[in-house]
Amino acid sequence: MMSASGLTTAFGLGVIYFIAAIPAGIAAGAGAWTAAIVAGLGYTCGGAVVLLAGAPLRAWLVKKLKIPVQRDPAKLIWRMWDRGGLLGLCLVAPVTIGPQATAVIALAAGERTPKIVSFIALGVAPWCFAFALLTAFGFKLAS
């Protein structure tokens, strides 16, 4: 039986700290694959909220997280963007900058909101699969 606390944990951590979301969801009682799906949904919602909430929230995030919204090839994020575009950034974001910063950077680069949300969801999918598989087989993702 699925635990509501496990699903809530996976979703909530998916929004703010994806790497811990799946193991914590499993520890709280959710199944590995269910925790992975719910964590991926939470992660995607974290990016969607930033995109839909408007300019004041994005401005606060830029200031709080020190997100380089001006294209600067000296910054790692913009080098990733130049090499992989939106998909490349979204594939590394779950284990690096997260959905909120990804959404802000993609908007600064001129991408449209529906495309950003779709690519954020697509980019987290392989990580959900990998983390669920590793956790289900007993590997510790953190010490």
Residue 68's H or E segment, with its range, is: none
Q: What is the pLDDT of residue 89?
A: 94
Output phi, psi for 111, to 5 deg. Answer: -80, 155
Judged by average pLDDT, the poorest of 19-23, 39-43, 119-123 is 19-23
Output the average pLDDT for the chain.
Answer: 90
77 versus 8: the higher-pLDDT residue is: 8
Distance of CA 28 to the CA centre of its chain: 20
Cβ neighbours of residue 29 under 8 Å, at least 6 residues apart? 2, 3, 5, 6
Q: What is the pLDDT of residues 22-80, one digit of tens each?
A: 999 999 999 999 999 999 999 999 999 999 998 888 888 888 888 888 888 888 888 88
Domain coordinates in residue numbering, the chain: 4-136
